[in-house]
Each structure stands twice: as structure tokens, then as C-alpha cells.
Amino acid sequence: MYTPSQFPPTSVSVDLNALGHNLAHVRRLAPRSEVLAVVKANAYGHGALELTRTLQQLAVHRFGVATVDEGIVLRQAGIHDPILVMGPTVPAQFPDLIAHRLTPVLYRSDMVQAFAAAVPPKAAPYSVHVKIETGMGRLGVHPPEMPDLAAMPAFRATLRLEGLMTHLADADNTKTTHTETQLTEFQQTLDTLRQGGLSCPLIHAANSAGIIQYPASLYTLVRPGIMLYGYHTLSNETPAPELRPILTWKATIAHLHNIQAGDSVSYNRTFIAARRSKIAVLPVGYADGYNRLLSNRGMVLIGGRRVPVVGRVCMDMTMVDVTDVPGVHIGQEAILIGQQGQERLTAADLAAWQQTIPYEVLCAIGQRVPRHYLPLRSDNEKSSPKP
């Protein structure tokens, strides 16, 4: 059996106590809502299984994934709590979904019929959630169609309508009009269904931005994702909780060499030295998720200082200019995301240099980068509310 190296050249550490801190902010903002933690995309690159187990210790007992396969991985690892598959599914996946007791999100009447037909009698009534389209423009039943869908015979026998949900498209924008319209339409749809006699225990609309900015989106369930991991995409003008990024990404200097003025670094000679320079080679590249767009643009921390990425980021290596760092040496630690001394780099910084969002930066960190977890303190566990 393969045993990973004890001294990987690049690695990620995840602070599970910072996760607890961020979860506490969710609960302060939504004290009357149950938490469904979104752990899709390998918990946004942090490690879905490890974070799911930690969140269970912190009294979270509902989880959201994007695909059936993501849910199966958690089930096979012994996660027995409800798992909501929030992404699109097709009838060919229904047997696996049912076999592993995953909860689907349904978003068309024909899908309701097809899923009900796939449920064996011994599994009925099978809990499902239905998504209502209020302005995201992706998946969902349009509000005028909801009364007829909720009245389908499948919900009187085979299926149990456990949840009704919508997805906010613009909750991190300073302009609130679209989100307010979405929430109004969602509430009107709920009112219509209740007037028709429908009772549904789980109602949810709030993602991370909704939790922070829209109290009207806080129904019986909230779906924090990025804020659990220490980030948000709200503007600087919007008051936001003090979240703690839970991930640190580091590499070790593998090589140092000097170049002269006029010498180049890396492919296509996109960096030409203007002075005699000392170049450090880091054993991390775009195959690890350190994006090629960071070429001649990104920064890393070495010796408590920001130093620039020079030349093209390669598949497996990145070069940085350490000319102004005193005492730099092979084996010294470089921080790609995290804090060193008084300096800090976040996934938001890398996102700005790449003209993207922190989600993409975190999700892109490759599987060959080992993850290590700083354990949860016992006082953190004790301070968590019990289910």
C-alpha cells in the first residue's frame, strides 16, 4: 500500500477550529435555522470527508453535495446523516441515489414521475426536495406550475415533500432589487402552497451571502458554503462577519540560483531580469492548482515578505524573485495562501490576480497536494449546540 511522503514539497493545512469559528457566525446570524453544510467539490477543496466529520462533532447533521457520486463517497465512509444532492441528476442515477439513501432535488414534473417510478415500495415514502425557480435561470419549477406539481399523486404515496428551496442569484451584490424580488416570489409561492393545504418542514433559500445580508431569506434551513471556509464575496461596503480562512497552502524552496541582468526565467522568456537577481524554485505548479494566470502577477510569502512570481508558472514548478529576502535558503517555507509574520495572502488575493473568485482558487487545489488537519479543540466541541 502506498504511503504518502512525510515531507511533501507542497501541502495544505486546514484549521478545524477556524471552521468552528465560522460556523458559530452562521448560527449567530441564523439562530432559528437548522444548518445544512455545503461540502460539494471536496468541501471547496478542503477535504469533504474530514470536514463533514468535524461538522458532525459541531452538531451539524445535514450536508449538501452537487453530485450523486459525491454523496456515495460520504456514505461509503460511514456518514449516515441526510445528504442533499443539489445538482442535476438523470433517471439513470436514480437507483444509485436510492440505494445510498441520498435526497434528490427535483425540478420538473416529469422528473417527479420518473423518480417516483424508481422508488421501490419498501423505500416509500422517500424524502425529496423541490427547487423553485425565482431568478437564478438554471434549475427549478416555475412558481405558477408549483401547485399542480405539489398535487401530483406521487406525493400522496411514494414521495414525501420534505423540502422546498430556491437559489439566490445575486445576494452578494450591493444592488438588492433582484434578490428582494426573488425572495418575494418565493414567499408568495410558499403562501399559495400553504393555502392549498401543503405543509413542508424544510424551507431554504439562504446561501452564504443570503445568511449575511438578507434576514428575509432565513427560513427553517440555511445552506452555508464559502463562509464556512472563511470567505465571502460581498463588497467592501457591506458589513460582514469576521470569518477566518481555514486553509494554509505552503511549499518548500527546492532550489536557488542567481541570474544576471538580461537573463530570462521559464517558458517563452516572459520575464527578463533588470538586475542581478536571486531566483527561488518552488515545487508547485498549475497541476497542483496554482494557476498559470499567476505568472508574473502573483505573490508568495518568504521570510515574512511578499515576493513576486516571475516567468510562466509551469505544470510542476513556480519561480519567485527572492533577491531582497535576507538569509533565504533551500528548504525554507513559502506561503501561497496563509500568514507568515505580519503578512497574509488569502484565496481572495489569488482570485483578484486571476480575475476570478475565491471559490475557484480553493476548488482548484489539486488532489496531489496532501491535506493535513489541525485538530478540533475539546472546548470547541463542548461549545457547540447539541442536535
Catalytic residue (choose from 40, 107, 250, 290)? 40
Q: Considering only residues 296 and 239, tell me which one the structure prediction assigns the higher pLDDT.
A: 296
Whether 229 is catalytic: no
Whether 267 is catalytic: yes
pLDDT of 327 > 90? The answer is yes
Over the stretch 220-230, which tens digit does the pLDDT of each residue have?
Answer: 999 999 999 99
Confidence band (pLDDT; 50, 70, 90) for 381? low
pLDDT of 135 > 60? The answer is yes
Closest of 72, 71, 135, 145 to residue 107, by C-alpha: 145
**Does residue 344 have a known ligand-binding role?**
no
Domains along the chain?
A: 32-229 (3.20.20.10), 247-374 (2.40.37.10)
Catalytic residue (choose from 2, 250, 267, 290)? 267
Over the chain, what is the mean pLDDT?
95
> What is the reported pLDDT for 387?
41
> What is the reported pLDDT for 228?
98
Q: Output the CA–CA distances (angstroms, integers) from residue 155 to 54, 148, 238, 302, in the order listed.
A: 35, 11, 42, 60
Confidence band (pLDDT; 50, 70, 90) for 184? very high
Model confidence, pTM: 0.93
> What is the reported pLDDT for 90?
97
- In terms of phi and psi (left: phi > 0; alpha: psi -120 to 50; beta: otherwise), the region of 280 is beta
- Quick one: what percent of the chain has pLDDT higher than 90? 92
Over the stretch 351-377, which tens digit does the pLDDT of each residue have?
Answer: 999 999 999 999 999 999 999 999 998
> What is the reported pLDDT for 4?
57
- Quick one: what percent of the chain has pLDDT higher than 70? 96
> What is the reported pLDDT for 95?
97
Residues paired with residue 333 on neighbouring β-strands, in sequence order: 252
Closest of 28, 12, 49, 38 to residue 246, by C-alpha: 12
pLDDT of 384 > 60? The answer is no
pLDDT of 269 > 90? The answer is yes
Confidence band (pLDDT; 50, 70, 90) for 379? confident
Over the stretch 281-322, which tens digit does the pLDDT of each residue have?
Answer: 999 999 999 999 999 999 999 999 999 999 999 999 999 999
Closest of 75, 112, 74 to residue 94, by C-alpha: 112
Distance CA 80, CA 325 (A): 51
